[in-house]
Structure 1
């Protein structure tokens, strides 16, 4: 099972892949690269798979061994310095779930995000009050200040996705509209926010009716698919678990293709986006 490693950004993964490409273009094996680096072959493998941080000295040595010129090396190291800067989400890292730490850089570069939510309003379409009310129920272990920070993070995620024109395609059960989260004011505000969201060009919402027939995602937990328009970064699936803050993160071709197919079939069975708009009124 391939995973996006904690702390590795999209920029790190791109640079790591470029190092592998340069080694192969130079006709060198990992063993030969390791000899040039004065390290074990496993070290080169971990560097190329973004399983470890990219050290400037090691990168310089590898690029030199691969025959890179001075200008190319300087440009590469400049990109590495930029990649090493903390991500925008750094101030919230203490209240983030571990899988979010793994995936935030991918989300921040995503072109499209597809979501299946079985019982609640999808997180990326939640209001602050609704999001806080969900945490009050699902994360009673957290102190109030941590819940506030988590809500702040979610709102920042939503804002940044809008600014980068990421498309959100969500499928949710109509149960979300009938499940009371917070008080009546919270629910009224959330329904209004959904009505406004579906008018945006970057949001597609499909609702699966309560009396609808069984579909491929029936019984599944929340599932999110990320697609990034960067050749070196594979599509990624997050399947959230039952335990607090747990999730399975997958980016193997087999897993991603399987979930894409399940999502596609579920979309066919769910209400058309125009019918879903009517269901919100």
Structure 2
């Protein structure tokens, strides 16, 4: 099942429960047996667009939600532009990109890395190689290309990005002098975009709510979302509303612990200037 199919099934269940209607009520409205509704809600059976419309209207969903759900049903089985990278990226990578492609906003917290949506090509290449020591050059370049291609929606303004990173991520000299300085400069450029917010949690801030837990919160056009948590062997996706809300609140706490946007950019400019001097002293 694709992430879209899972989202569709989950949202149908959430809307029904919120309406207070039973599985039998939904089945009667569609003129089918109750097991069919159950299978739709646990993603064992795909829901047709007209069925989704009927159910959403029965559940009292607003017009925007109805249209969003119907569109999701129409496209649930199709893969997007990223399908050409199926052979070079692992399944979790593709699911992640699919969620990101469908999202209208992403909130990202990173501990010692710059978020992928804001990485330079050379920085991305270094990070991907470090995480996959035995990777072949052809696969490496395809994964770098995929990461860079993901940034198109940031540049065209169709995806809102709010990135919070630790000061360690700014200081870590990934890739050496030129790559490091270019990456810091790219952060400054990206932060000037109207759809990008950027904050730094200074080391002196001490403990905070998400130490050791980097994550992404995706928000879709119906207001609901998914959380992605990376680990060494893959990506964990959290889709239950209560879990997603907990991470949204955690991200708000992180924003509060971080420097303000203007102060974060001032600190970043300071490090760009100092890094130039520091690397020049080393050479």
For this structure pair, what is the TM-score category when the shorter chain's length is used for normalisation? 0.7 to 0.9
Cα deviations by residue, 1:12-71 (Å, 9 ceiling, x for unpaired): 8289839x97xx99x95577799957xx92x542334434555x7xx89x79x99xxxxx
- State how many pairs are aligned: 252
1:230 to 217, 222, 225: 222
Cα deviations by residue, 1:149-203 (Å, 9 ceiling, x for unpaired): 1111111111034435211101101111221211211111111111101111111
Structure 1 residue runs of 5 or longer lacking an equivalent are 1-5, 67-75
Structure 2 residue runs of 5 or longer lacking an equivalent are 56-68, 270-283
Q: What aligned pairs does 1:146-161 form with structure 2 within 5 A after superposition? A: 146-161=139-154
2:118 to 121, 125, 128: 125
Label 1:253 to 1:9 Cα distance change in 2 as closer, same or farther (>3 A). closer
Matches of 1:164 and 1:202 in 2, distance apart? 6
- Range with greater deviation from structure 2 (102-111 or 146-155): 102-111
TM-score, normalised via structure 2 length: 0.75
Q: What aligned pairs does 1:1-281 form with structure 2 within 5 A after superposition? A: 6-9=1-4, 13=8, 17=12, 28=24, 36=32, 41=35, 44-53=37-46, 83-163=76-156, 165-220=158-213, 222-230=214-222, 234-241=224-231, 243-244=232-233, 246-281=234-269
Structure with bigger RCO (C-alpha 8 Å, 6+ apart): 1
**Structure with greater helix share of residues:** 2
- 1:129 Cα offset (Å): 0.5
Measured on the aligned residues, the alpha-carbon RMSD in Å equals 3.6
Matches of 1:132 and 1:78 in 2, distance apart? 36
TM-score, normalised via structure 1 length: 0.75
Matches of 2:70 and 2:87 in 1, distance apart? 29
- 1:142 Cα offset (Å): 2.1
